[in-house]
Amino acid sequence: MSNEIIVKGNPNISNIALTFDDGPGRVTPYVLDVLRKYGVKATFFCLGSCIEKRITIQEYTGRYTAGSDIVKRANDEGHLIAVHSYDHLALPGLNDDEILNNSLFRTKNIITDLIGKTPVYVRPPYGSVDNRVNSIIKELGLKTILWSCHSADSSTEPDVIPGGSLKYKYGPVDIYNNIMRNAGNGSIILCHDGHSGAYDANFGIVSALDRAIPELQKKEFKFVTIDELLATGNYVICNL
């Protein structure tokens, strides 16, 4: 496996890959519902810590589900499960052992044990990667995937109260517009179904996708998983 960092699929083919970071979380089941509605497959870059959590599904009823059950559902519905990290720490700030064993290898094993498939793709938190990190990723048999189109669903306003709840900068219309403005042949679209392993994702992504997906399908774009996107070759890489 090469040390390539992939940012986009084949620019000559009308495939698009929707990708989701920082989950599983409370938003994930709603995202899965929208994807199922339109027959779309996506790729989920999961945090190991969130897979191991109990997640509130209905805030006021106190009903919980396991993060592992959400990931199982995504896998059963044909989505691709990939590695984000264990706890969303920026990998270049960690030592080799922390990256290899406490973050990536740990999460890779959690996913493998859960769904019976070994993940082959990773997206480092914040897209932060250097040559040392990428060499460790290669050692684990993983391939680094970044993105070419940012939905901006995770952008937040500055903290009013340090450590307080998040206020997202963009609502559904803005997120929809970001996707429609920037999506094209081979796009890898960055979305979120959690936020840094500590907060709920922006629920605006759900209605934004419910509007954007059918419109892009009308433009004859096909939504594929990352492995399907790369299978056509001629993908775009970036150099460190």
Q: Which residues are catalytic?
A: 21, 192
Dihedral angle of Cα 217, 148, 236, 94, to the nearest 10 degrees: -140
DSSP assignments along 110-137, one per residue: HHHHHHS----EE--GGG---HHHHHHH
Contact 7, 186 (CB under 8 A): no
Query: Alpha-carbon torsion 130, 134, 136, 137, what sign?
Result: positive
* Partners of 214 in beta bridges: none
Environment class of residue 132 by beta-carbon count within 10 Å: exposed (0-12), middle (13-18) or buried (19+)?
middle
Alpha helices by DSSP H, listed for the chain, are 28-37, 48-51, 67-76, 96-97, 106-115, 131-139, 172-182, 204-218, 226-230
Tokens (6 digits) for 200: 């709920």
